[in-house]
Structure 1
Amino acid sequence: MPLERFNKSEALSLGVELELQLVNTHDYDLAPYAEDMLRLMAHTPLPGSVVPEMTSSMIEISTGICHSAKDVIAQLTPIRDALVKNADKLNIAVVGGGTHAFQQWHERRIYDKPRFRELSELYGYLSKQFTIFGQHVHIGCPDADAALLMLHRMSRYIPHFIALSASSPFVQGQDTQFDSARLNSVFAFPLSGRAPFALTWKEFEAYFERMTRTGVVRSMKDFYWDIRPKPEFGTIEIRVFDTPLTVERAAELAGYVQSLAAWFLQEQPFTPSEDDYLVYSYNRFQACRFGLDAVYVDPASGEHMPLREHILMTMTQLEWHSEALNATEALDRLRADVDASQNDARWLRERQGKERLLAEVVRQSARRFRGAV
């Protein structure tokens, strides 16, 4: 199957997808209510969409095309409110976060959809372990070559995205000592990691053709890269974010991505190279493990610095662009949390330190998602 043509999109347009947890309100474990939730949501006219995910305790919501972080929150808020209302009817709750704190993967059920059944047959137990929850951000690109250049420039900032969104410190009842343990499950898949270094669509088409000849790949959906092109939308899709605990944080992260993209398009601040990837895995690991307390290695200079400092320095560089995009408030809120060394992983650990009961942490997370705390 040939690679589809890269469609036109409006440069810097946004789209956001959020994978969400469905939990019961008895012990706050995951609950297989995706089909019921989708049935109820089908009766509510909303922007974007609500669709099933790999296992039946997950759903994915998405916005339509947005033009700013404020557009994103304007679309996510009514979807969130409808989810909460319908969850109440089912005596369940909707929760953000990159992992459920104590669910057991072997208890999960694969959602009855042909692609999910096919993936389950291919990947075995990894499919149920893929009951993890991420935010994906699409950013519109003016053309296919610009999309690849954008993709490789964004790769330097993958540690920022991981640390700012990290919300998965607990797995199967244990503190993993990672801020983002979710990504460890993603890395188990053979076609995960980074995209190949190609700066023209012609080069990328040649790579895709070679991969399809092997029989390993049939479409772009088979790649679980941290960032991948989405030719049908005319975007690149950033996939390393944990799902935040609130839709407000999801919109703020989208505003940060859009501000970076504007900086790249309008100022062309650097030319990416294959050497950028010499420290890519190290930087990504540091951000997953330590969050905002990570060390960041600058791929151009080799300088080591606190990731927190690199994020704050970058936000200062983006001020003019964020102002032009009406994203100043979004970046200010992110900056305040970076200054305070606060992300969702730390909030979850603080709640567990106080409550000593993960079910109560999940309950409070559900209240936070619905805007009650």
Structure 2
Amino acid sequence: MSAARRPADREHCVDKPAESGRVAEAAKLEPFQHSAALSLGVELELQLVNTHDYDLAPYSDEMLRLMAGHKLPGAVVPEMTSSMIEISTGVCQSTAQVQEELSAIRDALVKSADKLNIAVVGGGTHPYQQWHERRIYDKPRFRELSALYGYLSKQFTIFGQHVHVGCPDADSALLMLHRMSRYIPHFIALSASSPFVQGQDTQFDSARLNSVFAFPMSGRAPFTLRWSEFEHFFAKTTRTGVVRSMKDFYWDIRPKPEYGTIEIRVFDTPLTVRRAVALAAFVQCLAAWFLHDQPFVPEEDDYMVYTYNRFQACRFGLEAVYVEPTTGEHLPLREHILSTLDRLAVHARPLGATKQLQYLAEDVENATNDACWLRDRHARERLLAEVVRQAAHRFRSE
């Protein structure tokens, strides 16, 4: 994210920008790069917690120093606040490669955390952290965002999984983006792992996304099916000075021209690498279906039910109602997920993703996701710190 105006590097004060009174120079959209169709990249934002009371712990600098000693695929980088860390794969051609790379990074993270007497945890929110206690990571971009967004920056101590999928060209990327948008509720319900916020059960399966929606450039991408139209939209937007790059858009799905991908951003971080890989497999199989069968042409009217479907999935998870965009039919989201997984089976086989889709289908049939697991552990233990301890154990030893 960049700011619409350039604040001073202070957490609680935004200076008047030097360019006030002048229209900001419009940024240029990067050319859409070539990437292998259906290639994958996965990012996971993870929690760092102490092993005393299992609250968040500001140890990202120490973790980054220790992780620098490991020769690993992908990358490990800081995030907005110092109790977060982000890991990412390289460009992967299969979900087996995603599994291999994420597992290797996970194992190194666990070893490094053990040396610091802390733990690494998945999940979309920490169940009881207090946002005002968080520290903004000392990086110019994060300081700028903190100055612009105020308390929202610390409330952005939330944890998501992002999945990139390679597209043959720019126009195909936009077509895939809008086709993929019909499945945003599916992604949310399958990945939901953030029922608790500041010690309370929010009654949402994914409360994390409520924090994302607070940012001004969140939501959905504009309905354009030609890259030339998207370039025109980007030029108009940047001329206003509201945004300066694609990073300023917090859309649920956004194109990433520098990588030749689209990036799905609505997943909560799962509690296990296994589930993260299965979610990436679901995205890859959907993309294969779109490319090979061209199953439907997206329309702007699809978005009439978009916000409702997204809310249902955040609130009720797998028990949500799904409104089919074309017909307006109301049906259980679980049924639509299962029928979609069944339809994708023919594409999963050549991609080596059959087991991952079967794993997701079993959980859907049992009406369980990570939010259910967290609530179940809380019902048993009656102590959120114990829930976090068990979640940390699950992440390291699945």
Q: TM-score, normalised by structure 2?
A: 0.93
Aligned to 1:369: 395
Residue equivalent to 1:155: 181
Q: CA deviation at 1:281?
A: 0.1
- Select the residue among 112, 117, 123 that pairs with 1:86: 112
Please list the CA deviations of residues 299-338 of structure 1 after superposition, one character each: whole Å capped at 9, or x if unmatched: 0010000000000010111110011110000000000000
Match of 2:168 in 1: 142
> What is the root-mean-square deviation in Å for CA atoms of aligned residues?
0.4
Decide which of 196, 220, 228 is 2:254's aligned counterpart. 228
Q: Distance in 1 between matches of 2:38 and 2:140?
A: 34
C-alpha distance in 2 between matches for 1:118 and 1:182: 22
Q: Which amino acid aligns with 1:140?
A: G
Match of 1:216? 242
Q: How does 1:117-266 map to 2 (within 5 A)?
A: 117-266=143-292
Letter of the 2:41 partner, please give it: G
| d(CA) in 1 for partners of 2:221, 2:196 | 28
In the alignment, is residue 315 of structure 1 matched against residue 368 of structure 2?
Answer: no
Q: Which runs of 5+ in 2 are unaligned?
A: 1-26
2:63 maps to which residue? Answer: 37
Aligned equivalents of 2:183 and 2:64: distance in 1?
A: 35
Equivalent in 363, 371, 376 of residue 345 of structure 1: 371
DSSP 3-state at the match of 1:112: coil
- Structure 2 residue matching 1:369: 3-state secondary structure: helix
Question: CA separation in 2, counterparts of 1:80 and 1:4?
Answer: 32
Unaligned runs of 5+ in 1: none
State the Cα distance separating 1:67 from its structure 2 match.
1.3
Residue type at the aligned position of 2:230: F
- Find the counterpart in structure 1 of residue 16 from structure 2: none
**CA distance in 2: counterparts of 1:118 and 1:302, whole angstroms:** 43
SS for the counterpart of 1:370 is helix
1:358 counterpart (361, 365, 384):
384
What aligned pairs does 1:287-306 form with structure 2 within 5 A after superposition?
287-306=313-332
Residue 173 of structure 2 aligns to which amino acid in structure 1?
A
Which ranges of 4 or more aligned residues in structure 1 deviate by more than 4 Å? none
Q: 1:233 and 1:55 mapped to 2: Cα distance?
A: 26
Look up the SS of the partner of 1:50 in the other structure.
Answer: strand
In structure 1, the partner of 2:299 is: 273
The offset of 1:69, in angstroms, is 1.4
**Structure 2 counterpart of 1:2, which letter?**
K
Cα shift readout 1:57-95 (whole Å, capped 9, x = no counterpart): 000000001112111111000100000000000000000
Counterpart-to-counterpart distance in 2, 1:351 and 1:69: 29
Letter in 2 for 1:8: H
Amino acid at match of 1:117: R
User: Aligned partners of 2:144 and 2:173: how far apart in 1?
Assistant: 30
Aligned to 1:47: 73
Partner Cα distance (1:58, 1:173) in 2: 19
For residues 394 and 98 of structure 2, the distance between their equivalents in structure 1, rounded to whole angstroms, comes to: 19
Tell me the distance in 1 between the aligned counterparts of 2:257 and 2:86: 21
Tell me the secondary structure at the aligned position of residue 240 of structure 1: strand
Distance (whole Å) between structure 1 residues aligned to residue 154 and residue 199 of structure 2: 17
Q: Which moved more, 1:64-73 or 1:107-116?
A: 64-73
- Report the alpha carbon displacement of residue 371 of structure 1 after superposing the two structures with TM: 1.3
Q: 2:127 aligns to what?
A: 101
CA deviation vs aligned residue, 1:130-162 (integer Å, no higher than 9, x gap): 000000000000000000000000000000000
Q: Which residue of 1 aligns with 2:139?
A: 113
C-alpha distance in 2 between matches for 1:238 and 1:65: 15
Which residue identity is paired with 1:245?
Answer: L
Q: Which one-letter code corresponds to 2:52 in the other structure?
A: H
User: Considering only CA atoms, is the larger Rg found in Structure 1 or Structure 2?
Assistant: 2
Q: Deviations over 1:266-312 (max 9, x none)?
A: 00000000000000000000000000000000000100000000000
Specify the SS of the correspondent of 1:248.
helix
CA distance in 2, matches of 1:260, 1:269: 10
In the aligned structure 2, how far is the partner of 1:147 from the partner of 1:121? 34
Percent of residue pairs bearing the same amino acid type: 77
- The structure 2 residue matched to 1:63, chosen from 89, 103, 111, is 89
> How far apart are the structure 2 equivalents of 1:308 and 1:288?
14
Deviations 1:195-217 (A, max 9, x none): 00000000000000000011000
Q: What SS does the aligned partner of 2:397 have?
A: coil
**d(CA) in 2 for partners of 1:45, 1:309:** 43
How many aligned positions are there?
A: 372
